[in-house]
C-alpha cells in the first residue's frame, strides 16, 4: 500500500483523487501496489464532500507522516508550492506537480534536491496537460539532436484562433464567447498574451538543452492583435494562424519564443483545433514526431499527474536521471534569429505602395492577395533577422500587422 | 564505456551504427557513458566499408564477450533472431529489437527471461518506427483505462491510399509507382494485405491487456480491393480511407483487427498522409492522445532502437517492469463486434434497388451519393454486429464493396 498526499483540492486536485480512485486496478497493474490518497491539503472546508474526511489544513501533518511516499502539488503559483515540494523532497518523499510556473522557475533545483535524497520530482502535466511529452523527451527521444520544437501549448488561445478562422469572427467577440463557455478566464491575460505558453516552452527548452532556460528571457507575443484580415491572408497562403511556443537550435545557438505564426496546411499542427494541444519535435535522426491531446481539463491533466505518481512508485528508492542543470543557459540574441514574415501595409490602391521602397527595405518579397481585402497590400519576405526586419518595418508608417511564418 | 553488438547490417542495422556514432555526445548526456559498437554480426562481407573491422560471422564471439552489455537485434524474421536474443538475455545482456514478427510471437517470453536475469528487453521500434509509442504506453498512459486504439501502422499502405485519394489513381497503378520509388516491396503482400499492421496491433493489444494477444487471432483485411469509387464515397462522407490497426474494449471484451476504414475529416488521423504513421489512443481519463511520426525508414527506426539502448544502459542491473504475461488472451468473438458499414450496390438505376429489401436486411440506413458515380447505390448502416452484417450482405448478389466506418 502506497500512501499519497494531494496539496490543493481545486480542479486538478479533485481530478487526481478521482483518477486514483476510479482507476485503482489499472494503477495496481502498473505499480504492483494499492495506492491510497491519505490526505488532501486545502485551506478551505468541503462540507458534505466525502473528501472532508481526509482534509487537513496543516502541511506539517503530511510532512511528519512517514507513511506518505508521494506528495502531489496541484495548488498552482510559485509559493508556497515551491517550499512545500522542497520540504517533501528533503524528507525523501517524491513529488509530482502540474504547476508550470513553479517548474519553469525551480525545476532544476527540485530535480537536484530529489537526486540528493534518492527520490523523484516529476512534472509531466506542467506542459501539454494530458499529453505525454516530458517523459518521452527524457526517455524516448534520447539519441537525437533535437533542433526544433513547435508547440501549440495553450488550449484557450487555440480555441480562440480556431473560432476566428472557422467563423471569421473578431478576437474580442470570440474571447467573450470563450469566457462565457468557461474556456477562457475572466482575466485572460496569462493565456492570450502568451505568458502561459512561455513557461511551457521554457520548460521544454530547458529539458532539451539540459540547462536552465529562464522564461523571462523568452521573447513572448500574444494573439490579441490578430484580426480577421490576418486570417484572410493566412487562407491565401494555404495556412492558418496558431500561437506557437518555438525552440530552435541554429549554428549551435538556442532560440526560444512564443508568438502567433502562420502554419501551413501541410503541417499536422494546422489540423490541431479547439482546445487541443500538440507538440512537434524535430530530431536529426527521428525527423518529425508529434504528440497530440488535451492540453488542459480536469481528467486529462490529472491523468498526467497520476502517471507521474505511478513512476514515483515504480522507482521508489532510486532517482530517475534527468538532465536539467541549474546553470543558466544564455539564449541566442533574439535580434539575430531569422524568420520569414507576412507584412500587411495599409493602402487604398496597390499603386500607392512604392514597390521599389519595399524591395530596398525587405529585399525580394512575394506579394499576396486576400479575398475581399482591397485597401491593403501584403507580402511575404525571405528569411530575415529580427533586427533587419524591425529596421525595414520602421521605414513604413502604414504597416497594419506583421506575422512570422513557421514554414 | 558501454559496448554494444549489432546483429544484422541491413538498413536498420547500419542506421543504428550511424545514430550511435553521429549522436555520441547526446547519448552520453543521457547515459553518462560513452557507447561503442564493438561488433556487427552479419553473414555477408562488407569489403571497403569500415564496418568490416568490427564484423563477425559467429554469434558466439558476442555471447562470450563479457564486455558486451547490450545486444541489438535488427536481422528480422523470427529465427534465429529469437534464439539469439534469448541467449543474450540468459547471460544477463539486455536486448533491443525492431523485429515485429519476433516481438509479436515471443515478446512475453523474452520479457520474462529478461526479468529472471536482471536485464531488459525493449522493442520500441517494432511498432510505429521512430514514433515513441511502446514506452509511453508502459510509462506514461499508466493510470488510464485504455479502451480504444486506432493506428495507421504501415507506411507503404498509407502512401498508396494517400496517392489514390489525392490523384484519383487505381490501386495497381499507385502500387507500381510505390514499388518504383522503393516505398513498396516487389512482393508487397505483407504490407498491402495488412500482415505487417496485424503484428503491430497484436503487440499494442498485448501491452494494453497485459497478456499475449496472438496475431493469428486478429481479423486482418488488406487494401487491395479498395477502388477509386470507394474514395468517391469517402469524399461524399467528408472522410478518407486508411488502413487501421484497431484495438477496442467493449463490455469487458477485447477486440482487435486490421482493416481499411473510413476516417472522418474531424479525426487527426485523416491528416496523416504519405509514409507517416500515427497512433490514436483513447483512455477513460486522458481522452484522445495521438503519437505521430515516421513509421519506417533507416534513421527514424534506428533512433527508436538506440533510445532503447539508452534505457538499457540507464537501467543496467535492474529490470524495468513490463506487464505482458505469456498467458494467452482470448479476444472477443469477431462476429459480435459492432461497426457501421458503407455498402456499395451495383445498380443501373436507383429504382432497381429494392429499398424495402435494404431496410429489411440492414435496418434504417443513410443513402449516400458520390459525384460522378451513376451505376451504384450506396448507403451507410447503423452499428451492426459483423455476423448480422454478413448475413444481411449475403441476401444481395450485386454488392461491389463494403467498408467499415471508424466514426
Q: Quick check: B274 contacting A, CB < 8 Å?
A: no
Active-site annotation of A, residues: 200
Chain B contact for A334 (CB, 8 A cutoff): no
Summary count for chain B: helices (H), strands (E)? 14, 20
Residue A290 forms contact with B (CB below 8 Å):
yes
Kindly state whether B43 is in contact with chain A, defined as any CB-CB distance less than 8 angstroms: no
The alpha-helical segments, DSSP class H, found in A188-297 are: 189-192, 195-209, 228-236
Mutate to test the interface with B, among A35, A129, A132 (most CBs of B within 10 A): A132
Domains and CATH numbers, chain B: 2-127+298-320 (3.40.50.720), 136-294 (3.30.360.10), 337-405 (3.30.70.1150)
> How far apart are alpha carbons B63 and A191 in whole angstroms?
57
Contact residues on chain A for B143, CB-CB shorter than 8 A: 19-20, 23, 26-27, 30, 303, 306-307, 309-310
Separation between Cα atoms, residue B118 and residue B91, nearest integer Å: 10
Contact with chain A for residue B130, Cβ under 8 A = yes
pLDDT at B90: 98
Contact flag B285-A23 (C-beta cutoff 8 Å) = yes
Tell me if chain B has a CB within 8 Å of the CB of A284.
Answer: yes
Which residue has cell 455476423?
A: B387
Is A291 in a helix, a strand, or coil? strand
Hey, is the C-beta of A136 within 8 angstroms of any chain B C-beta? yes
In angstroms, rounded to a whole number, what is the distance separating the alpha carbons of residues A335 and A328? 20
pLDDT for B389 equals 98
Phi, psi of A247 (to 5 degrees): -120, 140
B22 and A303 within 8 Å at the Cβ level: the answer is no
**Beta carbons of B285 and A297 less than 8 Å apart:** no
Show the beta-strand stretches assigned E in A265-324: 276-283, 287-294
Q: Which residues of B touch A283 (CB under 8 A)?
A: 303
Of B4, B64, B65, B76, the closest CA to residue B40 belongs to: B4
Q: Determine the pLDDT at residue A350.
A: 66
- Whether B228 and B303 have beta carbons less than 8 Å apart is answered as no
**pLDDT score of B232:** 97
Q: Does B135 touch chain A (CB under 8 A)?
A: yes
For chain A, what is the mean pLDDT?
Answer: 96
Contact A300 B306 (CB under 8 A): no
On whether the CB atoms of residues B355 and B390 are closer than 8 A, the answer is no
- In the prediction, which pLDDT does A397 show? 85
Q: Which residues of A25-41 are buried (b: 16+ CB within 10 A; e: fewer)?
A: ebbeebbeeebebbbbb
- Write down the pLDDT at residue B350: 67
Are residues A139 and B307, on separate chains, in Cβ contact within 8 Å? yes
d(CA B211, CA B196): 20
Q: Please indicate if any CB of chain B lies within 8 Å of the CB of A1.
A: no
Check CB contact under 8 Å for A143 and B310.
yes
Q: For chains A and B, what is the number of CB pairs under 8 angstroms?
A: 184
pLDDT digits (tens, 9 = 90+) for A191-248: 999 999 999 999 999 999 999 999 999 999 999 999 999 999 999 999 999 999 999 9
**Average pLDDT, stretch A289-314?**
97
Report the gap between the CA of B259 and the closest CA in chain A (Å): 24
- CA pair distance B345, B328, nearest whole angstrom: 40
pLDDT mean values, one per 10 residues, chain B (407 residues): 98 98 97 97 96 98 98 97 98 98 98 98 98 98 98 97 96 95 92 98 98 98 97 98 98 97 97 97 98 96 98 96 96 98 88 85 96 93 98 93 98
Of A222, A220, A239, the closest CA to residue A165 belongs to: A239
Q: Chain A neighbours among B 254-273 (CB < 8 Å)?
A: 268, 270-272
Residue of chain B nearest A318, judged by CA positions: B315
- Cα B365 to Cα B347: distance, rounded to the nearest angstrom: 17
Enumerate the residues of chain B whose CB falls inside 8 A of the CB of residue A96: none
Q: Is B295 on the interface with A (CB under 8 A)?
A: no
Q: List CB contacts of A406: < 8 A, sequence separation 6 or more.
A: A150, A242, A244, A246, A261, A262, A263, A264, A267, A269
* DSSP single-letter state for residue B30: H
The answer to whether the CB of A368 falls within 8 A of the CB of A376 is no
pLDDT digits (tens, 9 = 90+) for A144-195: 999 999 999 999 999 999 999 999 999 999 999 999 998 899 999 999 999 9
Residue A34: the pLDDT is 98
Q: Which residues of A touch B306 (CB under 8 A)?
A: 143, 285
Cα distances (angstroms) measured from residue B81 to each of A264, B103, B114, B204, B206: 43, 10, 15, 21, 20
Q: Which residue has the cell 469509387?
A: B229
Q: B93, B200, B242, B340: which one is catalytic?
A: B200
Contacts of A240 in chain B (CB under 8 A): none
Is the CB of residue B308 less than 8 Å away from at least one CB of chain A?
A: no
Distance from CA of B4 to the nearest CA of A (A): 15
Tell me the C-alpha to C-alpha distance, in Å, between residue B74 and each of B48, B69, B360.
22, 16, 54
Chain A contact for B325, CB < 8 A? no
Return the beta strands (E) in A238-311 as ranges.
239-250, 253-264, 276-283, 287-294
Q: Alpha-carbon distance A121 to B290, whole Å?
A: 25
Say how many residues make up chain B.
407
Q: Do A19 and B285 touch (CB under 8 A)?
A: yes
Answer whether B350 touches A (CB < 8 Å).
no
- Share above pLDDT 90 across residues of chain A, in percent, rounded to a whole number: 96
Mean pLDDT check: name the lowest of A47-51, A282-286, A300-304, A393-397.
A393-397
User: Which residue in B143, B268, B288 is closest to A19 by CB distance?
Assistant: B143
Provide the shortest C-alpha distance from residue A271 to chain B (in Å).
7
Please give the ipTM for the structure prediction.
0.97
Tell me how far apart the alpha carbons of residues B298 and B18 are, in angstroms, rounded to a whole number: 10
Cell of A391: 529596421
Q: What is the nearest CA distance from B350 to chain A, expressed in angstroms?
A: 36
The whole-number pLDDT of residue B308 equals 98
Residues of B in contact with A284 (CB under 8 A): 22-23
Length in residues, chain A: 407
**What does the buried/exposed string (b/e) look like for A88-123 if buried means 16 or more CB atoms within 10 Å of the residue's CB?**
bbeeebbbbbbbbbbbbbbbbbbbbbbbebebbbbb
- Pick from A23, A136, A297: CB nearest B144: A23
DSSP secondary structure letter of residue A329: P
Amino acid at each position: 500500500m502506497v500512501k499519497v498526499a494531494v496539496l490543493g483540492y481545486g480542479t486538478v486536485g479533485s481530478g487526481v483523487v478521482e483518477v486514483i480512485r476510479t482507476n485503482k486496478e489499472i494503477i495496481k497493474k502498473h505499480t504492483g501496489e494499492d495506492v491510497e490518497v491519505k490526505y488532501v491539503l486545502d485551506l478551505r472546508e468541503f462540507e458534505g464532500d466525502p473528501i472532508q474526511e481526509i482534509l487537513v489544513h496543516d502541511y506539517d501533518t503530511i510532512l511528519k507522516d512517514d507513511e506518505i511516499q508521494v506528495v502531489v502539488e496541484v495548488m498552482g503559483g510559485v509559493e508556497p508550492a515551491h517550499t512545500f515540494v522542497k520540504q517533501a523532497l528533503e524528507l525523501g518523499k517524491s513529488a509530482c506537480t502540474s504547476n508550470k510556473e513553479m517548474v519553469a522557475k525551480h525545476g532544476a533545483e527540485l530535480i537536484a534536491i530529489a537526486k540528493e535524497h534518492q527520490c523523484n520530482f516529476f512534472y509531466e502535466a506542467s506542459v501539454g496537460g494530458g499529453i505525454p511529452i516530458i517523459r518521452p523527451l527524457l526517455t524516448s527521444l534520447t539519441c537525437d539532436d533535437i533542433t526544433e520544437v513547435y508547440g501549440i501549448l495553450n488550449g484557450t488561445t487555440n480555441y480562440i484562433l480556431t473560432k476566428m478562422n472557422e467563423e471569421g469572427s473578431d478576437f474580442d467577440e470570440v474571447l467573450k464567447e470563450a469566457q462565457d463557455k468557461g474556456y477562457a478566464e475572466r482575466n485572460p491575460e496569462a493565456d492570450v498574451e502568451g505568458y502561459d505558453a512561455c513557461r511551457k516552452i521554457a520548460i521544454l527548452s530547458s529539458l532539451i538543452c539540459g540547462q536552465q532556460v529562464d522564461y523571462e528571457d523568452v521573447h513572448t507575443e500574444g494573439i490579441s492583435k490578430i484580426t480577421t484580415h490576418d486570417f484572410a491572408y493566412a487562407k491565401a497562403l494555404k495556412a492558418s494562424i496558431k500561437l506557437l511556443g518555438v525552440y530552435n537550435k541554429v549554428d549551435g545557438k538556442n532560440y526560444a519564443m512564443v508568438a502567433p505564426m502562420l502554419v501551413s496546411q501541410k503541417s499536422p499542427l494546422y489540423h490541431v483545433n479547439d482546445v487541443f494541444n500538440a507538440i512537434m519535435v524535430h530530431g536529426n535522426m527521428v525527423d518529425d514526431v508529434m504528440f497530440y491531446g488535451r492540453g488542459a481539463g480536469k481528467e486529462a491533466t490529472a491523468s498526467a499527474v497520476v502517471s507521474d505518481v505511478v513512476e514515483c512508485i515504480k522507482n521508489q528508492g532510486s532517482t530517475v536521471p534527468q538532465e536539467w542543470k541549474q546553470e543558466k543557459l544564455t539564449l541566442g540574441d533574439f535580434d539575430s534569429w531569422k524568420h520569414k514574415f507576412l507584412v500587411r501595409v495599409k493602402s487604398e490602391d496597390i499603386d500607392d505602395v512604392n514597390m521599389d521602397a519595399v524591395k530596398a527595405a525587405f529585399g525580394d518579397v512575394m506579394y499576396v492577395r486576400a479575398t475581399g481585402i482591397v485597401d491593403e497590400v501584403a507580402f511575404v519576405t525571405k528569411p530575415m533577422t529580427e533586427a533587419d526586419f524591425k529596421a525595414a518595418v520602421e521605414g513604413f508608417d502604414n504597416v497594419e500587422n506583421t506575422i512570422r511564418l513557421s514554414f
